[in-house]
Chains A and B, each alone.
Chain A
Amino acid sequence: MAVFDYAPAIAVLPLAAFALALFGGRYLPKRGAIAGIAATGGSLVLSLWMLVTIALGADPHQQTLYTFVAGADGVASVDLSFGIFIDQLSALMLVIVSLISLLVHVFSLGYMNDEGETGLPRYYAGLGLFTFSMLAFVFSDNLLMSFMFFELVGLCSFLLIGFWFRDDAPSSAAKKAFLVTRFGDYFFLIGVVAVFATFGTTAFVGEESFIAMAEHAMPGSEAAVPGVVSDWLGVVGLSASQWFTVVGLLVLGGVIGKSAQFPLHTWLPDAMEGPTPVSALIHAATMVAAGVYLVARMYGFYALSPTALGIIALVGGFTALFAATMALVKQELKQVLAYSTISQYGYMMLALGGGGYVAAVFHLTTHAAFKALLFLGAGSVIIAMHHNENMWDMGGLKDRMPVTYATFLAGSLALAGVFPFAGFWSKDEVLFETLVHGLGSTGGTLLLLGYAFGLLAVVFTALYTFRMVFLTFHGDARTDTAEDPEPVRWNVKLPLAVLGVLATVVGVINLGAVKKIIGESNLFLHEWLFHGAEGLNGEHYEELLHDFAGYTAAELPGGPLAPAAVSLGLALVGVGLAYRLYGGADPDPHMLKLGSVRTTLMNNYYLDEFQVWLAMSVTAPVARVADTFDQGIVDGVVNGISSVSLLSGDRFREIQTGIVTNYAALLTLGLTLLVLVFALAGGWF
C-alpha cells in the first residue's frame, strides 16, 4: 500500500516545522508561521488521503516503524517500538487534529504576529511540536508509544501555556497543567507497565495485541487463555476480570488527568493563561482530546470490565454537570469556555462508559469543530477588546464584528445542543446511548445516574452559553473599548468561517436521532466505525460489551426521537432562561443573587484551594520535616560519630600527663593487668 508509506510524514512534517522554527525562526517569513502552516497543511492533505483511502475500502494499516529497544535473543524480554496504525478511528482523528492545527496556525498570524508579540519562533516551534506529538499519539500502534507521546503533549502544553513566561500567572499555570496531568500519568504509567507485565506486549492491533489477549483470557471466552497472562495472574493472585479492571482504572488515571475530568480538572481553567489559539488547540484537538481518544483506542479492553465502564460513565456524567455549574458564574469569556470544555469532555466519557463508542467519537468530532470555533471567536473578541476578557466590559459587539458574531453564534448553538447544529446530534446520541444501556443492562444504575447528571447539565450548558453570547455581543456597549473595538483581519475571519460552517453542518455524519427516518445505513459515522480493523471496531465492541460487561440496549417505544425531544427541550429552556436574564440592553448580574452558592462556584468548589492545601500545607511541611530529620538525625548521626570520636580522642590525650612517674605507674598497671588476666586464664597459681 503505497499510500500508507507516507503516513509517518503526517507527524514528521510538523516536527520539521518545529525544528525549523526553533533554530531558524528568526530568519523565516512570519517567524516560522508559514513553515507551520505548510507543514500542518501537508499533514491535513495526507490525513485526508488516508481517510479517503480507507473510505474506498482499503484495510487498516499497521506497521512497525522503529524498534528502539530490541529484546535480547533468548531472553524473555520484550521489544519496545514505534509503529503506526491507521484505521477508521485514527484516520478520522488525524484529520481533525491536522485541520484544527492548520486553522490555529492561520489564526495565530492575526493573534500573535499582528499583535507584535516577541518570541514567535518559540511559539511556532511549540505549536509544531504540539501537533507532532498529538498526531504521533493518534496513530500509535501500541500503548507505550501512546504514553510517550501523551507525555510529550503534556510538555508542549507546558511550553505553550507558559509562553508568556515573564508574567507569573502563565508560568504558574503551565506548571500546574503539567503537574496535575503528570499525577494522572503516574497511574497511566503503572498501567502501561502492568500491561507489559501481564501480556508481554502493548500492541493495540492483531491477535497478539494485549486487547485481544485480554479478551481471550476472560472466563467465558472461547479462545485459549494465553500462557503469559495466566502465569501473571497467578503471580498477582487476581482473576482476569479483577486484574483487567485494575489495569483499566490505572490507565484511566492518565485519561482523567489529560481530559480534565473530576478531580484532576483544575489545571484546565488556569491554562487559559496561554495564548488563545493555544487554548483552541488544547481544548479542541490535542491535549484534552487525547484522554478520550485513548479510551476509544483501547475500548476493547475497557469493554471487558463493567466496573471500569461504570466508573468512567459516572465520572463523565458528574464532571459534565459539575463543570457546567461553575461555568454559570464566570465573568471572563475564556473561563466560561474552559469550564464548558471540561463539561463536554464529561459527556464523551459518559458516552464511553455508557457503551456509546460511536457517540463518544461523534461528540469528539463535533466538539472539536465548535469548541475550536468558540475559542478562536473568543480570540477575535479579545483582539478587539485589547486583551480584556471580562464579559461585563463588553456588550453590543454583534454589530461591530458581524463575522465573529455570526460564527460565534453558530458555535454557541452547537454547544448548547440546539437543533440542527452539530452539537445537538452528538450530545443527543451520547445521552441516548447512555439511557438505553442504563435501562437495558443489569446493574445499569450507575449509567442512569450519569444520564441524569448529563440531562441536567444540558440546561446549564445552554444557560451559560447564551449568557456568554448575550453579555458579549448583545445589549449596549458597556465600555469605551467595546464601543470602538479593534478590527480583525482575514487571517482571523477565515478560520472562523471554516469552523462556523463545520459547526453547523458536521452533525450530518451521524443523524442518530432520526435514524428511524433516514435509515441506519445512512448513519455514516456509525457505519464507518463499525467497519474497522479486526477486533477493533464498533461491532466487535458491542459484542464484547454484551458478553463481558452485560450491556444490553433497551428498546424504547418511541425510538430515539423522544429522548432527543427531551434534551432539545431542556436546551431551549436554558436558552430562554438566558434570554430572560441577560437578553436586555443593560443586563443585571443576576448570578449575584445566588450569594454564597455563587462564591462557591466562583471558587470552583474550593478544589483548587484543596489542591494547593495538599501541596503547601501537607506535602511541603512533610518535606520540611523530612529535611529536618535528614539534617538532624541522619546527618546528625554521622556528625555525631565524628564528634564523639574527636571527643574521646581528647580523653585519650588526658592519659598522657607529661609526668614520667605517672607513665611508669600506668605502665606497671598495664603490665599487672595483663599478668593478672593471663595468670587467671592460664591457671598459673
Chain B
Amino acid sequence: MVQLPVWTAIAPTVILALTVLLLLVVDSINPDEDSGNLLAVMAVIGTVTSIAVTGWYLLAGTGQPPTDPVLLFADAIVVDGMSLFFTALVGSVVVLIVLASYDYLADHPYQAEYYSLVMLAATGMSLMASANSLATAFVSLELASLPSFALVASLKHNRGSVEAGLKYFLIGALSSAVFAFGISLVFAAGGSLGFADVAAAAADTSLPGVLGLGILFVAGGFAYKTASVPFHFWAPDAYEGAPSPISAFLSSASKAAGFVLLFRVFVEAFPQTAVAGTIDWVLAFQVLAVVTMTVGNFAAATQENVKRMLAYSSVGHAGYVLIAVAALTTDANRSFVLGSGMAHLLVYGFMNTGAFLFIALTEYWDVGRTFEDFNGLAKQAPFACAAMTVFLFSLAGLPFGGGFLSKFYLLMASVNGGVLLLAVALVVNSALSLYYYSRVVRAMWLEEPDGTLEIQGYPTGLYAAIAVAAVMTVLLLPAFGPVAEMANAAASAIV
C-alpha cells in the first residue's frame, strides 16, 4: 500500500476548505444564475468526500493506537481518533444541513454565500477537532464562529434572524475576548501555547493564580461555544431566530466542536495532576454541568414555541455532555467517562439536527411555531411526524434511538465517577425533558387538528435529510456499540 505523505492526515479538513474555495469560484464565474442546485450538490459532494476520507482514516487507524497521533505544523495540529471522530460528526451534520437547505433556501438570494459560509464554518469546526495548541484553538474557533454569525443573520429581511445574529455576534465577540484574554494569561503563566508544553509548564508555574484565572477564562470561551451556563444566553435567542437548518448546525456541530476542544484542552493542556494545586476544574464543571442542564431543561419546560423549546433543550444537553468532564474524577475509568460525552454528541448530532430540520419543514409549510400549531399534524404528515417522534423520544432517552443508550451511558459515567449529584441532576432533568418533549408528540399525535392546515408539497431534500437523520438515530440504537467503542478508544488515547 502506498504510504501517503504525513500532511495528508489533515485531508478531511483540507477537502472542506477546498470545497469552500470551489463554491466561491463557481459563484464568481456565474454570480447571477440561480444555481442553488449545483451549489448544494457540490457542497454535499465535498462533505461526503471529506467524511469518506475520515472514515477511511478511522478504519485504517491513522493516528490511533497503537500508532502515535499524527502531529503536523510544529505540533500545532494533531490527527488522532478524537479529531477524526468529530470531523466525521461535523461532516455528517453538514450533509444533513445542506440537503435540507436546498429546499429551505429555494427562493433565497445569495445561495453561494450561504453554502460557502456553511462549509467555511465546517472547516473551522473540523480544525477545532484537530487543534493541538491554544493558538490553533483560538483561530479555528473564530473560523467557525465568524461565518456562523453571518449565517444566523442571513435572512436579512427577517427581524428575528437579524436580532438573533446580533445577539449571537455580540456575545460571541465578548466571549472571544474573554477566551483570548484567558489564553494570554495561560501564556503568561507558562510561556507556551502547545498543549503538551502548557501542561508541562503548568506543573511548576510561578504564577498559579494567573494560570487558574486563565483556565477559568478559557473555560468561559468553551462555555460560549457549547452554550453552557453562564455563556449560554445567546443560544435560545439565536437558535430561535436563525434559519432552522442553521439552528441545527449550531446546536449540533458547533456544540460538538466546542466540546472536542474543551475535552482536549482540559485533558491535555490542564491535566488534573498538573493543575492540582491551582484549580479543581472537575468541580467547576460539576457545578456548570448541573446548573446548565437545570437551566436549560427547566426553562424549556413551559415554552410555547417549539423551536425555542428545542433551543433550551439544546442548552440542557450541553449540560449532559459536560458530565463527561465533570465526572472525570481521579477514581473514574477516565476513558469510559470521557467517551460517554463523545458518544452522546454523536447521537445528539443526528437526533437534534433531525428535530430542528423538522422545524424547518414546518416553517416551509408555514405551520406556525407554537405547540398548538402542531396539533394533529400527524394526520397530514405521518412520516415526518413519526421521524420527529423518534428524534424527540430519543432526545428524551427512551429506547427509540441511540439517545437512549447515550443518555444512560452518561448516567453510568456519573455513577462511575462517583458523583451522585450529577446522576441525580441528570435524572431530574431527564424526567422533565421527557415531559416537554412529549408535549410535541402529544400535539402531533394526540390532539385533533383545528382543520385549517393545508400542507402544500413534500420537499424532497428536507424529507431526505429528515429520513437520513431518523434512520441514523434509530440505527444508533443497535449500532451504538462501534460508536461507543470508537469514542472510548479515542478518549483513551488522550487521557
Q: Which residues of A contact B (CB under 8 A)?
A: 642, 645-646, 648-653, 655-656, 658, 660, 663-664, 666-667, 669-671, 674-675, 678-679, 681-682, 684-685
B234 within 8 A of partner (CB): yes
Given the known inter-chain contacts A649-B302, A667-B231, please indicate yes or no for A674 contacting B174, CB distance below 8 A.
no
Give, as a whole number of angstroms, the nearest-CB distance from A660 to chain B.
5
Q: A656-B233, A663-B234, A667-B171 are in contact. Are A646 and B216 (CB under 8 A)?
A: no
Is there contact, CB below 8 Å, between B213 and A684?
A: yes
CB-based contact A671/B216 at 8 Å: yes
Q: Given the interface contacts A656-B299, A664-B174, does A671 sit within 8 Å of B212 by beta carbon?
A: no
Do A669 and B171 have beta carbons less than 8 Å apart? no
Tell whether, in the assembled complex, residue B209 and residue A685 are in contact, meaning their CB atoms are under 8 Å apart: yes
The 8 Å CB contact of A678, one of B170, B175, B279, B435, is B279
Given contacts A645-B301, A653-B302, A674-B284, are A667 and B174 in contact (CB under 8 A)? yes
Nearest B-chain residue to A657, judged by Cβ: B233
When C-beta atoms are compared, the residue in chain B nearest to A673 turns out to be B230
Q: How far is the CB of B437 from chain A (nearest CB, A)?
A: 14
Interface string of B25-54 (1 = CB under 8 A from A): 000000000000000000000000000000
Q: Is the CB of B234 within 8 A of A679?
A: no
- How far apart are the CA atoms of A648 and B301 in the complex, in Å? 9
Q: Which of A666, A671, A681 contacts B178 (CB 8 A)?
A: A671
A653–B299 CB distance below 8 A: yes
> Could you tell me the distance in whole angstroms from the C-beta of B170 to the nearest C-beta in chain A?
5
Q: Secondary structure of the B side of the interface? A: helix
Find B278's partner among A664, A670, A675, A682 (CB 8 Å cutoff): A682
Q: Provide the residues of chain B in CB contact with A682, threshold 8 Å.
A: 208-209, 212, 277-280
Which residues in A have their C-beta under 8 angstroms from that of B279?
Answer: 678, 682
CB distance from B417 to the nearest CB of A (A): 20
A32, chain B: closest CB distance, angstroms: 52
Of all chain B residues, which has the CB nearest A650? B302
Q: Which residues of A contact B284 (CB under 8 A)?
A: 674, 678
A649 touches B301 (CB 8 A): yes
Query: Which residues of B from 298 to 313 have beta carbons under 8 Å from A?
Result: 298-303
Contact A660 B295 (CB under 8 A): no
CA distance A685 to B216 in the complex (A): 15
Contact sample, A vs B, 30 pairs, CB 8 Å cutoff:
A645-B301, A645-B432, A645-B435, A646-B302, A648-B298, A649-B301, A653-B299, A653-B303, A655-B299, A656-B299, A660-B170, A660-B171, A663-B167, A663-B234, A664-B170, A666-B230, A667-B231, A670-B231, A671-B216, A671-B220, A674-B284, A678-B216, A679-B209, A679-B212, A682-B209, A682-B278, A682-B279, A684-B208, A684-B209, A685-B209
Q: Which of A651, A652, A664 has the most CB of B within 10 A?
A: A652
Could you tell me if B299 and A649 are in contact, using CB atoms closer than 8 angstroms?
yes
Q: Is B236 an interface residue (CB 8 A)?
A: yes
Query: How many residues does chain B have at the interface if contact means C-beta atoms less than 8 Å apart?
Result: 37
B167 touches which of A645, A651, A660, A669 (Cβ 8 Å): A660
B229 at the interface (CB under 8 A from A): yes
Given contacts A663-B171, A678-B279, A681-B280, contact A670 B299 (CB under 8 A): no
> CA–CA, A681 to B277, complex, Å?
10
Mask of B368-403 contacts with A, CB within 8 angstroms, 1/0:
000000000000000000000000000000000000
Residue-by-residue, is B276-295 near A (CB-CB < 8 Å gives 1, otherwise 0)?
A: 01111000100100000011
Minimum Cβ distance to chain B for residue A649 (Å)? 4
Per-position contact with A for B161-175: 1 when CB-CB < 8 Å, else 0? 000001100110011
A-B interface, 4 closest residue pairs, ranked by CB to CB distance from nearest: A670-B230, A684-B209, A663-B233, A649-B301
Most buried by A among B171, B209, B217, B301: B301
Interface string of B185-224 (1 = CB under 8 A from A): 0000000000000000000000011001100110010000
Q: In the complex, what distance in Å separates the CA atom of A59 from the CA atom of B121?
A: 101
* Cα-based distance from A372 to B186 in the complex (angstroms): 106
B interface, CB within 8 angstroms of A: 166-167, 170-171, 174-175, 178, 208-209, 212-213, 216-217, 220, 229-231, 233-234, 236-237, 277-280, 284, 287, 294-295, 298-303, 432, 435
How far is A674 from B230 in the complex, measured between Cα atoms in Å? 10
Q: Complex Cα distance A658/B237, Å?
A: 8
Q: Counting chain A CB atoms within 10 Å of each CB, which of B175, B233, B287 scores highest?
A: B233
Smallest Cβ-Cβ distance to B230: which chain A residue: A670
A667 near B299: Cβ-Cβ < 8 Å: no
Which chain B residue shows the least CB distance to A663?
B233
Q: Which residues of B contact A681 (CB under 8 A)?
A: 280
Q: Give complex CA distance A203, B432 in Å.
A: 58
Shortest C-beta distance, A24 to chain B (Å), equals: 49
Minimal Cβ-Cβ distance residue in B for A684: B209
Q: Could you say which residues of chain B place their CB within 8 Å of the CB of A685?
A: 209
Bound CA span A184–B74, Å: 92
Q: Which residues of chain A come closer than 8 Å to B171, judged between CB atoms?
A: 660, 663-664, 667
Residues of A within 8 A of B231 (CB): 667, 670
Given contacts A667-B174, A678-B280, 12 further A-B contacts (CB under 8 A): A642-B435, A646-B302, A655-B295, A656-B237, A658-B237, A663-B167, A664-B171, A670-B231, A671-B220, A674-B287, A679-B212, A682-B209
Quote the shortest CB–CB distance from A329 to chain B (angstroms): 65
Q: Would you call A684 and B216 a contact (CB within 8 A)?
A: no
Q: Please tell me if the beta carbons of A678 and B298 are within 8 angstroms of each other in the complex.
A: no
Q: Which residues does chain A contribute within 8 Å of B435, judged by CB atoms? A: 642, 645
Q: Which A residues are CB-close (under 8 A) to B277?
A: 682
CA distance A655 to B294 in the complex (A): 13
Q: How far is the CA of A681 from the CA of B275 in the complex (A)?
A: 13
How far, in whole Å, are A666 and B178 apart by their CA atoms in the complex?
Answer: 14
* Known A645-B432, A650-B302, A663-B234; contact A678-B212, beta-carbon cutoff 8 A: yes
Q: How far is the CB of B206 from chain A (nearest CB, A)?
A: 13
How many Å from the CB of B178 to the closest CB on chain A? 7
Q: Please, which residues of chain B bring their CB within 8 A of the CB of A653?
A: 299, 302-303
What is the chain B residue whose CB lies nearest that of A642?
B435
Q: What is the bound-complex CA distance between A663 and B277, given in angstroms?
A: 32
- How many Å from the CB of A58 to the closest CB on chain B? 69
Chain A residue numbers with a CB within 8 Å of B174 are 664, 667
In the complex, what residues of A have CB within 8 A of residue B236's CB? 656
**Minimum CB–CB distance for A209 against chain B, Å:** 56
Return the contact of A649 from the options B209, B213, B298 (Cβ within 8 A). B298
Considering only CB atoms, which chain B residue lies closest to A685 in the complex? Answer: B209
- A649 touching B230 in the complex, CB below 8 Å, given contacts A679-B209, A682-B279: no
Q: How far is the CA of A375 from the CA of B79 in the complex (A)?
A: 102
A665 to chain B, nearest CB (A): 10
Docked-complex contact A675 and B216, CB < 8 angstroms: yes
Q: Given the complex of chains A and B, what is the CA–CA distance between A17 and B170 in angstroms?
A: 92
Most central of A648, A670, A675, A679 by chain B CB within 10 Å: A670
A138 to B404, CA, bound (A): 61
User: How distant is B440 from chain A, measured CB to nearest CB, in Å?
Assistant: 16
Q: Shortest beta-carbon distance, B167 to chain A, in Å?
A: 5
Among B230, B237, B278, the residue within 8 A (CB) of A669 is: B230
Complex interface: chain B residues within 8 A of A667 (CB): 171, 174-175, 230-231, 233
- Shortest CB-to-CB span from B401 to chain A, Å, is 25
Which of the residues A646, A648, A670, A684 comes within 8 Å of B229, measured between beta carbons?
A: A670
The smallest beta-carbon distance between A641 and chain B, in angstroms, is 10
Interchain CB contact (< 8 A) of A652 among B209, B212, B234, B295 = B295
Whether B299 contacts A652 by the Cβ 8 Å rule is yes
Bound-complex Cα distance A649 to B303 (A): 9
Inter-chain contacts of A652 with B (CB < 8 A)? 294-295, 298-299
**Which residues of B have CB within 8 Å of A655?**
295, 299
- Which of B213, B233, B302, B432 is A675 in contact with, Cβ under 8 Å? B213
Cα distance A649–B178 in the bound complex, in angstroms:
30
Measured CB to CB, the closest approach of chain A to B236, in angstroms, equals 6
CA distance A251 to B166 in the complex (A): 85
What's the minimum C-beta distance from B340 to chain A, rounded to whole angstroms? Answer: 24
Q: Which of B167, B230, B278, B284 has the most CB of A within 10 A?
A: B230
User: CA A667 – CA B171 in complex, angstroms?
Assistant: 9
Q: Of all chain B residues, which has the CB nearest A670?
A: B230
Nearest A residue to B229, CB-CB:
A670
